[in-house]
């Protein structure tokens, strides 16, 4: 009797984020005291460019390991386009793009 092994491989879609201008404001990482001009990139990338090393995993919004509290400001979810302007709200750094001034507890 012969046995066959069947496998499947799934990969999440690549996140395409438009960084072609329009980014305004400052991004403040309040825990570290770092601040940078908003480049329009996801907050995880901006934090890394500012010299921070926030915890992260998948970089595509699946694992939630990059979740931090947004103190103030507005972010856009790069996957859904949804805007979040509530204060003291948990967001995922890897898929959150700042819209204007944003203060993150990072």
Domain locations in the chain as residue ranges: 26-104
Distance between CA atoms of residues 2 and 23, nearest Å? 59
pLDDT tens string 30-61? 999 999 999 999 999 999 999 999 999 999 99
Provide the pLDDT confidence category of residue 26 given band limits of 50, 70 and 90: very high
What letter would DSSP give residue 63?
S
pLDDT tens string 77-102? 999 999 999 999 999 999 999 999 99
Torsion of CA 88, 49, 35, 82, to 10 degrees: -30
The pLDDT value given to residue 3: 78
Contact 105, 31 (CB under 8 A): yes
Judged against a pLDDT cut of 80, whether residue 4 lies above it is answered with no
| β partners of residue 33 | none
Give phi and psi for 47, each to the nearest 5.
-65, -45
Query: What fold is seen in the domain 26-104?
Result: Ubiquitin-like (UB roll) (3.10.20)
Q: How many CB atoms lie within 10 A of CB 9?
A: 4
The pTM (predicted TM-score) of the whole model is 0.81
Least reliable range by pLDDT among 14-18, 26-30, 89-93? 14-18
Number of residues that make up the chain = 106
């Amino acid at each position: 009797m012969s046995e066959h092994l069947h496998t499947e491989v799934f990969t999440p879609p690549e996140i395409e984020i438009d960084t072609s201008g329009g980014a305004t404001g400052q991004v403040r990482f309040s825990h570290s005291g770092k601040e940078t001009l908003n480049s329009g990139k996801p907050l995880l990338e901006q934090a890394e460019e500012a010299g921070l090393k926030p915890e992260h995993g998948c970089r595509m919004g699946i694992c939630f390991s990059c979740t931090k509290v947004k103190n103030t400001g507005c972010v856009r979810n790069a996957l859904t386009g949804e805007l979040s302007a509530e204060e003291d709200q948990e967001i995922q750094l890897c898929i959150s793009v700042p819209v204007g001034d944003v203060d993150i507890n990072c």
